[in-house]
């Protein structure tokens, strides 16, 4: 296999991983906003902020681990 084949595989892998991360983020954000309430308390706001922070952290960890794997493969 030539160098171009590996580059194409790497690009395809990165594209698939990016789409997966986006879909995961969209699904998680939908879960947070699926049942809006008119009156929301400060404790609920704080809980939502914590959940959002956790989701963002998980996404960053996934992207770092993926980048490390891609570097290891290529």
> What are the tens digits of pLDDT across the range 17-71?
777 777 766 666 555 555 555 666 778 778 888 888 888 888 888 888 888 877 7
pLDDT of residue 7: 52
Q: Give the C-alpha separation, 39 to 48, whole Å.
A: 14
Has residue 1 got a pLDDT over 50?
no
Q: Tokens 């493969």 — which residue?
A: 73
* Lookup: tokens for 73: 């493969």
Integer CA distances (angstroms), 18 to 6, 38, 56, in order: 18, 34, 14
Q: Would you state the pLDDT for residue 39? A: 63
Confidence check: pLDDT of 5 > 70:
no
How big is the chain, counted in residues? 74
């Amino acid at each position: 296999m030539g160098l171009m084949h590996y580059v194409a595989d790497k690009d395809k892998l990165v594209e698939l991983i990016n789409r997966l991360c986006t879909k995961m983020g969209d699904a998680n954000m939908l879960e947070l906003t699926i049942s809006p309430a008119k009156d929301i308390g400060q404790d609920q706001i704080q809980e939502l902020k914590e959940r959002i922070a956790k989701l963002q952290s998980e996404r960053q960890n996934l992207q770092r681990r993926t980048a490390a794997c891609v570097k290891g493969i290529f």
